[in-house]
Amino acid sequence: MSQEITKVTAPLPFTRKDVAEHALDFGKSWEYAPSPEATDHFKIEPRYELFIGGKWRTPKSGKYFATTSPSTEEKLADIAEGNAEDVDLAVKAARHAYERVWSKMRPAERAKYIFRIARAIQEKSRELAIVESMDGGKPIKESRDVDLPLAAAHFFYHAGWADKLDYAFHGRRARPLGVAGQIIPWNFPLLMAAWKIAPALACGNTVVLKPAETTPLTALLLAKIFEEAELPPGVVNIVTGAGETGAALVNHPDVDKIAFTGSTEVGKRIQRALAGTKKRLTLELGGKAANVIFADAPLDQAIEGIVQGIFFNQGHVCCAGSRLLVEESIHEPLVRKLRDRMATLRLGDPLDKNTDIGAINSKMQLEKIAALVDSGEKDGAERFSAPCAIPSKGYWFAPTFFTGVAQSSRIAREEIFGPVLSVLTFRTPDEAVEKANNTMYGLSAGIWSDKGAKIFWMAQRLKAGVVWGNTYNKFDPGSPFGGYKESGFGREGGRQGLSAYVELDG
């Protein structure tokens, strides 16, 4: 190795020639052995019933459907298929519990139940994380270190609000709404259940929850926790099923409020269905967030933020940073670094502790992703996919990005909901704002720059409900989350998130 010290170089920017010649090798030297999470300390029941009025009840139709593991395609359990009659029973149980018990209970006592639930989630954390990974496909590293701590934190946080609502609304008196119908998606099954149930209970409402049909298990384990915490029967009811079950809940006349997280398309359907009723509604829908990288960003850390933004949870995230808007002057080095960074992403068994990218949640979702990726290639964008070995069984998609993406192409406009990033460039901050806002969505955005003033300037102008500066995908029960425009309305978390679950005077 000769010591060439006649020329002093500053490392950046490096040229295309450098890029081609000096390649890092992320190969097979020192492979990590499989490191599977132990699953022998609990078991999944072969069959789960509906949880209504504090009891496990068989579905009126007698029908069950299978929930399978998207990484192995094996059946995990049979799940009760709730129909309109079951929904009706659940709403009645919720109403009864609301009127007889929950609305009469001292708020400080309500809080204690919610604290108990939080504690139990902490105690059963590992089991819940493993089941979440098996049922939904996400890596155990994420369910264990992100989903579970946040789920427990949501219950802890909201427990503390139960007896403090008098402070939360600036002198306006708050009353609970009554019965809340809640429909949640498959990307963060337990966490979404926590986001919905915790504030509803804290504000004095009772709940009927319909989990997503591909990921019902952790909601059902949560129901067991409600039982063990001695939550009064009927305060939370879980009715599993698919689209029709959800529709029955939305249309039920005795539900006071609907909370929905899911696709924009279904959200609009629900909004239409509620027209003319007095039901309150909050919607948390899709997104196509812009992650904006300026030339003065700390680049290596911005790469981490990009990877986190789109590959976390396989991109099954409504607030995913799925559009990378990079300042043109650093496009080359950024793409180079991103490519190298993706070479160390490990795709595979969600229960392996070293897995970074888990399974795609379902065959249907995989087909949607593949179709949009095809369209990207047809539109002439240049595709790069990480060289991951794909297991033979299960649903998988290698982390991918496209460069040379046109603002008008489908992959720049439509939510892919998968590990696929579209890279576009901009020249000035004004242009970045224009491109970032040029979408019907408005859930989230990221800004990367070393200049504080620029972060605030961009944050002021971005039409997004959540703006991350020099970070991405950060969540906290105390930070209100929700979208602008067709990403939905209403906020979850924080003091602001309580408004969705109360009636206010004045």
Scan residues 413-442 and list those touching another protein (CB under 8 A): 429
Residue 331 lies near another protein (rule: CB under 8 A): no
- Could you tell me the two tokens for 231? 């939550």
User: Which residue is catalytic, options 49, 81, 213, 284?
Assistant: 284
Q: Does 478 bind another protein (CB under 8 A)?
A: yes
The reply to whether 40 sits near another protein by the rule CB under 8 A is: no
Task: Find the shortest distance in angstroms from Cβ 8 to another protein.
Answer: 5
Does the annotation mark 318 as catalytic? yes
Counting contacts by CB under 8 A, is residue 2 touching another protein? yes
Which residues, in sequence order, are bridge partners of residue 55? 52
Asked whether position 368 contacts another protein by CB under 8 A, the answer is: no
We find the least distance from the C-beta atom of residue 363 to another protein, in angstroms, to be 30
**Binding segment for another protein among 11-19, 78-86, 260-268, 410-418 (CB under 8 A)?**
11-19
Q: Taking the complex as a whole, how short is the minimal distance between the CB of residue 353 and another protein, in angstroms?
A: 4
Query: Applying CB under 8 A, does 392 fall inside the site for another protein?
Result: no
The CA–CA distances, whole Å, from 110 to 104, 158, 159, 205, 492 equal: 10, 11, 8, 10, 20
Q: Which helix (H) or strand (E) holds 155?
A: helix 148-161
Residue 459 — φ and ψ, nearest 5°? -60, -35
Instruction: Spell out, one character per residue from 81 to 120, where the chain touches another protein: x when CB under 8 A holds, - when not.
Output: ---------------------------x--xx--x-----
Q: Choose which of 40, 460, 505, 506 interacts with another protein (CB under 8 A).
A: 460
Give me the helices (H) in 57-147, please: 84-97, 107-123, 125-136, 140-142
Length of the chain: 506
**Do the Cβ atoms of 347 and 389 come closer than 8 Å?**
yes
**Please, which residue, 265 or 450, has the CB nearer to another protein?**
450
Please choose, out of 61-69, 161-169, 234-242, 390-398, the segment that lies near another protein by the rule CB under 8 A: 161-169
316 lines the binding site for another protein (CB under 8 A)? no
Q: Does 12 bind another protein (CB under 8 A)?
A: yes
Which stretch in 63-71, 162-170, 235-243, 386-394 sits in contact with another protein by CB under 8 A?
162-170
Q: Cis omega before residue 13 (within 30°)?
A: yes
Can you tell me the distance from the alpha carbon of 418 to that of 423, in angstroms, rounded to the nearest whole number?
15
In the list 64, 93, 161, 499, the residue contacting another protein (rule: CB under 8 A) is 161
Q: Specify the residue, 163 or 503, whose C-beta has the smaller distance to another protein.
A: 163
Q: How far apart are the C-alpha atoms of 64 and 424, rounded to whole Å?
A: 46
Task: Identify the active-site residue in 49, 213, 318, 486.
Answer: 318
Rounded to whole angstroms, how far apart are CA atoms 178 and 9? 68
Q: Are 315 and 347 in contact (CB under 8 A)?
A: no
Q: Is 300 or 505 the residue whose CB approaches another protein more closely?
A: 300
Q: Does 457 bind another protein (CB under 8 A)?
A: yes
If the CB atoms of residues 435 and 454 are measured against another protein, the closer one turns out to be 454
Judged by beta carbon, residue 19 or residue 406, the one nearer another protein is 19
Phi, psi angle pair for 306, to nearest 5° = -65, -45
248 binding another protein? (CB under 8 A): no
DSSP per-residue letters across 46-97 = SEE-EEETTEEE--TT--EEEEE-TTT--EEEEEE---HHHHHHHHHHHHHH
Give me the residue label for tokens 């919607």: 283
Residue 157 touches another protein, criterion: CB under 8 A: yes
Residues 324/424, Cβ–Cβ less than 8 Å: yes
Q: What does DSSP assign to residue 101?
A: I
* Member of 228, 301, 380, 393 binding another protein (CB under 8 A): 301
Residue with tokens 């991918």: 400
The C-alpha atoms of residue 321 and residue 469 are separated, in whole angstroms, by 12
Q: Does 28 participate in binding another protein (rule CB under 8 A)?
A: yes
42 contributes a contact to another protein by CB under 8 A: no
Q: How far apart are CA 446 and CA 285, in angstroms?
A: 18
| Segment interacting with another protein, rule: CB under 8 A, options 39-47, 372-380, 386-394, 446-454 | 446-454
Biggest CA–CA distance in the chain, Å, is 85
CB neighbourhood size of 92 (10 A): 18
The gap between the terminal CA atoms of the chain, to the nearest Å, is 77
DSSP track, 288-347: --EEEE-TTS-HHHHHHHHHHHHHGGGG--TT---EEEEEGGGHHHHHHHHHHHHTT--B
- The closest of 308, 360, 313 to 338, measured between CA atoms, is 308
Q: Return the range that interacts with another protein (CB under 8 A); candidates 129-137, 365-373, 381-389, 470-478.
A: 470-478
Contact at 8 Å (CB) between 357 and 345?
yes
Does position 329 interact with another protein (CB under 8 A)? The reply is: no
Question: Is the Cβ of residue 3 or residue 392 nearer to another protein in the bound state?
Answer: 3
> 41 or 170, CB closer to another protein?
170
- 298 binding another protein? (CB under 8 A): yes
Q: Does 22 bind another protein (CB under 8 A)?
A: yes
Amino acid letter, residue 136: G
Query: Does residue 243 touch another protein according to CB under 8 A?
Result: no
Is residue 388 annotated as a catalytic residue, yes or no?
no
Token pair, residue 97, equals: 């519990």
Candidates 40, 99, 159, 419: give the one binding another protein (CB under 8 A): 159
Residues from 480 through 499 that contact another protein (CB under 8 A): 494-495
Active-site amino acid positions: 284, 318
